[in-house]
Structure 1
Amino acid sequence: MTDNNEKKSGIDRRTVLKTIGATSAFGTVGGLTASPVSAATTPVGELGTTSAGQWDSNGGNWFTLDFEHSYDDPVVVMGPLSTNGEEPAHARLRAVWSGSAEWQIEEWRYMDLTHTKEDISYLVVESGDNEVDGASVHAGTVEVDHEWQSVTFGSTFDQLPVVFTESQTVNGGDPIVTRTKDVTESGFSVRVQGEEARGSHVSEEVGYIAIDGNVDGVFEIGTITSDEAWTPVTATTSYSEPAFVSSMQTTHGGNTAGLRRRKLDASSAEVRVEEEESADDETNHVDETVGYLLGRRGRFDGADGGSSDDGDDGGGNGDDGDDNDGTMNPTFGADFAQHIGEDPSQYYEDWLGRSVLVADEFMKKEAHYHNVPDWKIQPWTNWVAENDERQMAWDLMVHNFTTLEDAANGGINDAVASFGNSLVNNDQENSYIRIVGEFDLGHTINPQTDQEKQWFVEMWREMTDTLRSVSGQDFTIVWNPNYDIRYKGSYAEDTWPGDGYVDMVGIDIYDRNWDQYAGAGEPTRDDHIAAWDRSKAHLDWFRNWADDHEKELCIPEWGVWEHTNSSHGGGDNPYFVQEMYDWMNENDVAWHVYFEQLDKHALYGPETQFPEASSKFKELFG
């Protein structure tokens, strides 16, 4: 989409996940091999609901709509609004990203612009031609102003589709809706329509979604005839968590108008045509054909063109897993904490039936990287030598033996250089290097004042320059704060050392939530879902941050977390494992590490306190 491609471009998204890993109390490990997936499904779109009000008298309240999944080039339609407020209003979109969009309730300019809280449903679909269990779904965008613009679908539908339209941009300052007419199997016409008293409008990018069939248990489409009076919509299926979107398919009346809905339940809703009153107070409207979609909230998948072969080779063969569609099914690493030796990853490989390709070594604070004993580094050297695809990741913790000011002035450069040379001399010249992972938390270096943040940036640059000066190195430098840095104002901007000093962005994220997982009671399914929504918003923020800086994204630590009165973990939560698996496969994740710390996260072995999460993990990653 013209307005937002710059935000979403960054590095090209891949459809494969390269590496995966695990961590223990002593060290972290990781790995990925991939197995082919069958003519597999891939997320085509999703239905959801949200709510908000408009309390700014200048119409300035915008809200972030976080998608359940990320897309290469999504198209979004929203509405109609519910009818908690009587004033004519509609949804307006801007900043459509791969994993989110911004939206607001927009009243017409002749009104006071404030509006009470309304409920609204939304539909997100990947651009292009998609198939969803027999239904054809086509989405795209077109540049449109107040004049009619003809749109031709990429391919002809077998039957008349229902077309949903919505502006994706705010190029002009006046409120608008979109209007549609002349819907056929091969295309339609569309324009933007401002209030009658104001007339023309500049060009906006209008998104459209056309669907020609129902998907059993997922959604159904249809049309009704409606005017200014409430008109019932009745579905043939009941949906326990319903979402409802609709758009007019005709423009029989010339007055500016949108739609409103009420009484949404599992199988029905009511909808009507709503005119604005900028030129006159008459709101009667001629009959219009209204298209609708009523379905269950959540994602819907489509065939991605993969092979029908299930690709199961029995595991453990190190096959790269490429199939005809280029997708991968990632697998897990090993628990090196308990099994340092000739082949530290063997236990996990035996458990999961897959090879380990990346290992993240997390050393205790008292050990530190500047004085790594041979007995610790040598097993990794042997391990890397067994497979030329294997890589190490090292965490450089500095806070126990230096100060920010000292490090900013080059006080640890000799130690850093010594460590870099040790890696090269031990055939680990292509290692990933996390400089102070989770640097924004209290257990690490945690710069707080403006001066400390400046020292942190200078320290980072000193360390990076030193590592890159090591002869024979090919290190990848990873900027890796904690997941919640997005809540800390300008902290991310203040501690970013510059694009030239970072090769990769990392996020550490666990199934923890201070709201959903408070208290002694076991978390419910709803708690897990709500907590994941928050986690996904963090992940999407990092995805966008990495894209904006044209960097790859990795997840050096993730995992489930025990639930106690004070731990705020989700406990044995296979839902988190499933959602992380889906998110990583739908995004450009270079490598990731399941943190196999024995007292909080461990999945491996029969004594795990997370048997359901362990089973789900083995099912997905094995």
Structure 2
Amino acid sequence: MAMPSEGAVTPSRLGVYVGPGKTADVNNSQEWLGRSQVDATDYLDPSENTKWNQYATKYWGDWKKSGADRGFVLGLHMLPKGGTFAEGLAGKYDSQFRTLADLMIKDGLGDSVIRIGYEGNNKNIGPWQGTDDPAAYREMFRRIVTLMRERTGESFQFDYNMAVGTSGKVTSFETLYPGDAYVDVVGLNIYDVWWEHPDATPAQRWNHTLTTAMGVNEFKEFAAAHNKPKSYPEWGLYGRGDSYMGGGDSPYFIDRMAELVKDSKYQAYFDHDWGGGTLDDFPNGKAQYRLRFGG
């Protein structure tokens, strides 16, 4: 299980998600790591309370301007709450995407990475999941990119971002891909889980992540075939005890990710509890994360 490089600091552009609008917590993570560079990740629904969108883009824009070498990565809902592809493709939400793009540009976030419809191969992610209607997902992705690229002053980069594993009609990374002209980066979200395999060792769990359909190996081949840089926009440890069968406090997983992300355009640890815990719940993994990614 050991690798010669374990313990070596991993060079990569690093980001973190610590919660909505939590600029101070990002700063705390950066200070704890002792890094000169840490990017921030957050999520927005284009039709959510417009005041919150205004606040959030202002918060992150001010944060970005207040430090050197800071970047912002946005996970953007492809459809608003209760929305449908039919309504989206008919233009019902066009103004919401234009407005959000203009807000980001005004607040200094016009060069952000935008993960449109992230985890479209996850049936439970939201109304934009593409496992039932891949064609509509692809077309909506193209529509949003076109709308946002038309705004004056933008230099957005768009990340086609999937999760590990197939679902429904999504059987490969090609299924939902909108085309090279609409994608700047391809991304893969990875958590230390293996569904309903409670007795898997850390090495077995990682091997599954590599070799499963729409796993790491296929992702690398996909990125190379399209000549796109790779990202790992969400990754993290996951606690034991539910059907996800997370690996718990696993420095081994931290080390494997530290090696994997070396050639990525950017990567971000998801340090917010969506059910599997945060770094504070995994003291050994947290120590190894600081060893591998600290300044």
Instruction: Give the TM-score category using the shorter length.
Output: 0.7 to 0.9
**Higher strand content, 1 or 2:** 1
The answer to whether 1:446 aligns with 2:129 is yes
Cα distance, 1:458 vs structure 2: 1.4
In 2: Cα distance, 1:443 partner to 1:331 partner: 26
Aligned to 1:422: 103
Q: 1:371 to 1:470 in 2, by over 3 A?
A: farther
Aligned to 1:407: 88
Kept in 1, the 8 Å contact 2:46–2:96? The answer is no
In 2: Cα distance, 1:399 partner to 1:377 partner: 18
1:620 aligned residue (265, 271, 292): 292
Q: 1:552 to 1:334 in 2, by over 3 A?
A: closer
Kept in 2, the 8 Å contact 1:595–1:601? The answer is no
Kept in 2, the 8 Å contact 1:485–1:491? The answer is yes
2:55 aligned residue (367, 375, 381): 375
In 2: Cα distance, 1:499 partner to 1:369 partner: 33
Q: 1:399 to 1:440 in 2, by over 3 A?
A: farther
Cα distance, 1:463 vs structure 2: 0.6
Aligned partner letter, 1:572:
D
Q: 1:509 to 1:328 in 2, by over 3 A?
A: closer
Q: 1:334 to 1:482 in 2, by over 3 A?
A: closer
1:391 aligned residue (71, 90, 95): 71
Cα distance, 1:413 vs structure 2: 1.4
Aligned partner letter, 2:59:
P
Kept in 2, the 8 Å contact 1:334–1:349? The answer is no
SS at match of 2:19: coil
SS at match of 1:492: coil
1:591 aligned residue (266, 272, 275): 266
Kept in 2, the 8 Å contact 1:333–1:349? The answer is no
Aligned to 2:26: 345
In 2: Cα distance, 1:328 partner to 1:443 partner: 31
What does 1:178-257 align with in structure 2 at a 5 Å threshold? none
The answer to whether 1:512 aligns with 2:193 is yes
Cα distance, 1:491 vs structure 2: 4.7
Cα distance, 1:399 vs structure 2: 4.7
In 2: Cα distance, 1:574 partner to 1:549 partner: 32
- What's the TM-score, normalizing by structure 2? 0.86
In 2: Cα distance, 1:494 partner to 1:381 partner: 34
Aligned to 1:243: none
Aligned partner letter, 1:610:
F
Cα distance, 1:338 vs structure 2: 8.5
In 2: Cα distance, 1:366 partner to 1:464 partner: 14
Cα distance, 1:359 vs structure 2: 1.1
Kept in 2, the 8 Å contact 1:562–1:601? The answer is yes
Q: Deviations over 1:176-219 (max 9, x none)?
A: xxxxxxxxxxxxxxxxxxxxxxxxxxxxxxxxxxxxxxxxxxxx
2:276 aligned residue (600, 605, 610): 600
Aligned to 1:31: none
Aligned to 1:563: 240
SS at match of 2:58: helix
Cα distance, 1:564 vs structure 2: 0.4
Cα distance, 1:344 vs structure 2: 4.4
In 2: Cα distance, 1:533 partner to 1:615 partner: 23
Aligned partner letter, 2:130:
P
Q: Deviations over 1:492-522 (max 9, x none)?
A: 32311111111110101100002532xxxxx
In 2: Cα distance, 1:392 partner to 1:418 partner: 18
In 2: Cα distance, 1:351 partner to 1:620 partner: 13
Kept in 1, the 8 Å contact 2:13–2:38? The answer is no
SS at match of 2:40: strand
In 1: Cα distance, 2:159 partner to 2:285 partner: 28
Q: 1:391 to 1:533 in 2, by over 3 A?
A: same
1:533 aligned residue (207, 230, 245): 207
Q: Deviations over 1:238-257 (max 9, x none)?
A: xxxxxxxxxxxxxxxxxxxx
SS at match of 1:447: coil
In 1: Cα distance, 2:256 partner to 2:73 partner: 25
In 1: Cα distance, 2:180 partner to 2:270 partner: 28
Matched residue count: 285
Aligned partner letter, 1:381:
G
In 1: Cα distance, 2:136 partner to 2:168 partner: 22
Aligned to 2:224: 547
Aligned to 1:226: none
Aligned partner letter, 1:447:
G
Q: Deviations over 1:536-582 (max 9, x none)?
A: 23122111111111111101100000100434111111110011101
Cα distance, 1:339 vs structure 2: 8.1
- What's the TM-score, normalizing by structure 1? 0.43
**Could you say what the CA RMSD is over the residues aligned between the two structures, in angstroms?**
2.8
Kept in 1, the 8 Å contact 2:258–2:292? The answer is yes
In 2: Cα distance, 1:339 partner to 1:395 partner: 13
Cα distance, 1:438 vs structure 2: 0.6
Aligned to 2:11: 329
Aligned partner letter, 1:618:
R
Q: 1:562 to 1:490 in 2, by over 3 A?
A: closer
SS at match of 1:390: coil
Aligned to 1:483: 164
Unaligned runs of 5+ in 1: 1-296, 302-310, 312-326, 518-522
Q: Deviations over 1:429-472 (max 9, x none)?
A: 100011111112122222344xx222211111111100110111
Aligned partner letter, 1:427:
G
Kept in 1, the 8 Å contact 2:16–2:268? The answer is no
Q: Deviations over 1:291-336 (max 9, x none)?
A: xxxxxx98677xxxxxxxxx9xxxxxxxxxxxxxxx9634855564
Aligned to 1:573: 250
In 2: Cα distance, 1:338 partner to 1:491 partner: 31
